[in-house]
Structure 1
């Protein structure tokens, strides 16, 4: 899960790119928000994950936020951290492995888009940023979220992504300073990840997700990209509350990871168990 940039916004302007199509379908009046699900690549193992991703496409899930697993995330709760550790212990889920996975599965998807989440220190810091971004785009990722990117590299990241034609996911907390939220919104070209509250993934805001309506409205003035809300979203009611706040999509992370873990521990078919989970959290279309 992402670590939002809470540093004071700068006045410099970086080149951005525009997604070829909205990351989430446009909401009709009274319609439900799109659904984005977070999983660590390698949990389940990549062959099982391929079947699961194809199922997400069948079910019409708008976005898979797919993380290249990395250890000891300071922003993740225990559920996501354990998932990353399982993936790392199995091996075969480094950045190159995950890009190979994306290149294999992406051509078979018609409705689900893949936003790749990569940690700067663990997955990208030892690589040339421009070349790595180009490789991620060439693999077929629809968007890129760089976790814990050093602020000094923000403009280079945005420029590299624009050059590669790769939309970026930017992040901010709901209680970040106004200037920081405005800058994050302005640079979002895939979608803006609005973190519901300061804390670790899996914890919900005390006032509920619907209370983010004013923040979502303020952010609309700075971006034409979709706004997705995450952290503490785990049930159908939470997804509906995100929609009531006016956001375009709800991101479910810890609950999705937990559903995978429960299926593996019970010896169930992970894909079918996860299909049940998807149907349990997705509101009925109005």
Structure 2
């Protein structure tokens, strides 16, 4: 099983970056992934773009639209991933795939096998119908593909317990119910009780996202007891600005990561597929 996150001390959680494959254009993705790897980012949450997500804010929806207009689909993303994954030293790749847009018309087990073969370290299926939960978990297990599960801070106890039980890669705790890019009113530190409760239900890492924009936000996530912070809209916005201004989006995202990442020693680790 992949080790998704490395905590190197108090206030220094792991870091995951969300990016829509195809935004920037897919031929820039290898350089982007390698740059994140070099900077010590733990995980790339790589989304196969899909339209009109009700949980995404305007920044990520615009990004997905640009990627879709470039013709980015699951096959293209897997081909690209297979090309650069062997070159990564520590960065893990969790592939986010929408069930309706990318998986509904495919054989589910075969598709997960293809995702694993391309080098993904884990999979998060967006909007998976509840009736397919057991089928999905069995197929992922057969493919040797760790599952990333999600729940909200205000999800019912039974939903949080199910998400904790399903998480074999990591558990993504969404900081509040709303659209991506928005932060919880009470701050990320107020999630400590929820994180502690989830910790008693799973041995998998717990990552917290939504509204994480600054180094202070990342440190607040660490203070609530989570293993990692997930940054989405704030990083995607830097890519968008760079594209609009004719700047290098890889360099722009790299500068943003340096601005939010707590300083920590980065000892190289062997590539474990």
Q: 1:45 aligns with which of 3, 15, 25?
A: 25
Partner SS, residue 29 of structure 2: helix
> 2:151, 2:173 within 8 Å by CA — same for their partners in 1?
yes
1:234 and 2:208 correspond: no
Moved over 3 A (4+): none
| Alignment pair present for 1:94 and 2:42 | no
Aligned-residue offset at 1:31: 4.5
| Aligned match of 2:16 | 36
Which residue of structure 1 aligns with residue 262 of structure 2? Answer: 283
Could you tell me whether the CA contact under 8 Å between 2:20 and 2:64 is conserved in 1?
A: yes
Structure 1 CA distance, aligned partners of 2:84 and 2:42?
A: 15
CA distance in 1 between partners of 2:11 and 2:152 (Å): 25
Q: CA deviation at 1:22?
A: 2.2
Separation of aligned partners in 2, 1:210 and 1:22: 25
1:257 to 1:29, Cα distance in 2 relative to 1, 3 A: closer
SS of the residue 1:240 aligns to:
helix
Task: Provide structure 1 residue ranges, at least 5 long, that are not aligned to the other structure.
Answer: 1-19
Distance in 1, Cα, partners of 2:165 & 2:261: 29
Deviates most, 61-70 or 45-54? 45-54
Aligned length in residues:
265
The residue that corresponds to 2:188 in the other structure is 209
Q: CA deviation at 1:112?
A: 0.5
Alignment TM-score, normalising by the size of structure 1: 0.91
1:248 is matched with which residue? 227
Contact 2:96 2:126 (8 Å CA) reproduced? yes
1:268 match: secondary structure: coil
Distance 1:30 1:250 in 2: 14
Q: When the two structures are superposed, what TM-score results if normalisation uses the length of structure 2?
A: 0.95
Partner-residue secondary structure (3-state), 1:123: helix
Pick closer, same or farther for the CA change 1:29–1:282 going to 2, 3 Å.
closer
Counterpart CA distance in 1 for 2:260 and 2:102 is 31
- Matched-pair contact (CA < 8 Å) for 1:31–1:285: no
2:98 touches 2:125 (CA, 8 Å); kept in 1?
yes
Cα offset, 1:21, TM superposition = 3.5
Q: What SS class does the counterpart of residue 259 from structure 2 fall into? A: helix
Gaps of 5+ in 2: 266-273
Match of 1:5 in 2: none
Q: What's 1:218 paired with? A: 197
CA contact (8 A) 2:18 2:232 kept: yes
Check conservation: 2:8, 2:264, Cα contact below 8 A: no
**Aligned mates of 1:240, 1:249 — CA distance in 2:** 10
Q: Distance in 2 between matches of 1:221 and 1:75?
A: 27
C-alpha distance in structure 2 between counterparts of 1:276 and 1:125, whole Å: 38
Which shifted more, 269-278 or 184-193? 269-278
